[in-house]
Amino acid sequence: MKEAVITVKNPTGLHTRPGTEFVQLAKSFESDVSVIKGEKEVNAKSIVKLLKVGIFCGDKITLRVSGSDEENALSALTSYIENLTE
Protein backbone atom coordinates (compact mmCIF):
# COMPACT_ATOMS: atom_id res chain seq x y z
CA MET A 1 0.00 0.00 0.00
CA LYS A 2 1.20 3.49 -0.92
CA GLU A 3 -0.10 6.85 0.24
CA ALA A 4 0.40 10.49 -0.65
CA VAL A 5 -0.92 13.64 1.02
CA ILE A 6 -1.79 16.37 -1.46
CA THR A 7 -3.05 19.92 -1.07
CA VAL A 8 -5.63 20.72 -3.74
CA LYS A 9 -4.53 23.90 -5.52
CA ASN A 10 -7.20 24.07 -8.21
CA PRO A 11 -9.35 27.17 -7.46
CA THR A 12 -12.57 25.23 -8.05
CA GLY A 13 -11.47 22.08 -6.22
CA LEU A 14 -12.34 18.65 -7.51
CA HIS A 15 -15.84 19.29 -8.86
CA THR A 16 -17.75 17.35 -11.53
CA ARG A 17 -15.56 17.68 -14.63
CA PRO A 18 -12.13 17.22 -13.06
CA GLY A 19 -13.64 14.71 -10.65
CA THR A 20 -14.90 12.63 -13.57
CA GLU A 21 -11.49 12.77 -15.24
CA PHE A 22 -9.85 11.74 -11.95
CA VAL A 23 -12.25 8.77 -11.57
CA GLN A 24 -11.61 7.66 -15.16
CA LEU A 25 -7.86 7.80 -14.51
CA ALA A 26 -8.28 5.82 -11.28
CA LYS A 27 -10.34 3.19 -13.13
CA SER A 28 -7.52 2.72 -15.63
CA PHE A 29 -5.48 1.00 -12.90
CA GLU A 30 -6.04 -2.41 -11.33
CA SER A 31 -5.19 -1.16 -7.85
CA ASP A 32 -7.80 -0.13 -5.30
CA VAL A 33 -7.75 3.65 -4.88
CA SER A 34 -9.21 5.62 -1.97
CA VAL A 35 -9.44 9.33 -1.31
CA ILE A 36 -9.39 10.39 2.33
CA LYS A 37 -10.46 13.82 3.56
CA GLY A 38 -10.71 14.23 7.30
CA GLU A 39 -12.70 11.29 8.66
CA LYS A 40 -14.16 10.35 5.26
CA GLU A 41 -12.61 7.67 3.06
CA VAL A 42 -14.21 6.89 -0.30
CA ASN A 43 -13.59 4.75 -3.34
CA ALA A 44 -11.86 6.98 -5.90
CA LYS A 45 -13.42 4.96 -8.73
CA SER A 46 -16.90 6.28 -7.90
CA ILE A 47 -17.77 9.82 -9.00
CA VAL A 48 -20.80 9.93 -6.70
CA LYS A 49 -18.76 9.01 -3.63
CA LEU A 50 -15.94 11.35 -4.61
CA LEU A 51 -18.28 14.32 -5.04
CA LYS A 52 -19.98 13.62 -1.69
CA VAL A 53 -16.68 14.24 0.10
CA GLY A 54 -16.58 17.82 -1.18
CA ILE A 55 -12.98 18.56 -2.13
CA PHE A 56 -12.22 22.28 -2.35
CA CYS A 57 -9.20 24.49 -2.98
CA GLY A 58 -6.81 24.31 -0.04
CA ASP A 59 -8.08 20.95 1.21
CA LYS A 60 -5.53 18.30 2.14
CA ILE A 61 -6.45 14.87 0.89
CA THR A 62 -4.73 11.53 1.15
CA LEU A 63 -4.59 9.15 -1.79
CA ARG A 64 -4.29 5.53 -0.68
CA VAL A 65 -3.48 2.98 -3.39
CA SER A 66 -3.10 -0.77 -2.99
CA GLY A 67 -2.49 -3.33 -5.71
CA SER A 68 -0.23 -4.61 -8.44
CA ASP A 69 0.24 -1.23 -10.14
CA GLU A 70 0.07 0.96 -7.03
CA GLU A 71 3.25 2.93 -7.72
CA ASN A 72 2.17 3.92 -11.25
CA ALA A 73 -1.37 4.66 -10.07
CA LEU A 74 -0.24 6.85 -7.18
CA SER A 75 2.19 8.74 -9.39
CA ALA A 76 -0.40 9.40 -12.12
CA LEU A 77 -3.21 10.38 -9.73
CA THR A 78 -0.98 12.62 -7.63
CA SER A 79 0.32 14.33 -10.75
CA TYR A 80 -3.23 14.86 -12.02
CA ILE A 81 -4.34 16.64 -8.83
CA GLU A 82 -1.14 18.66 -8.43
CA ASN A 83 -1.30 19.94 -12.02
CA LEU A 84 -5.05 20.58 -12.14
CA THR A 85 -5.87 24.21 -12.94
CA GLU A 86 -9.05 25.70 -14.32
Catalytic residue among 13, 15, 41, 59: 15
Contact of 16 with 51, CB cutoff 8 Å: yes
Residue 5: strand, helix, or coil: strand
Q: Can you give the CATH number for the domain in which 58 is found?
A: 3.30.1340.10
| pLDDT tens per residue, range 52-75 | 999 999 999 999 999 999 999 999
Domain containing 71: what range?
A: 2-82
**Domain count across the chain:** 1
49 Cα distance to chain centroid: 11
At 86 the pLDDT is 75
Q: How far is residue 63's CA from residue 28's CA, in Å, rounded to a whole number? A: 16
Neighbours of 9 (CB within 10 A): 14
Give the global pTM. 0.94
Q: Clarify whether 63 is annotated catalytic.
A: no
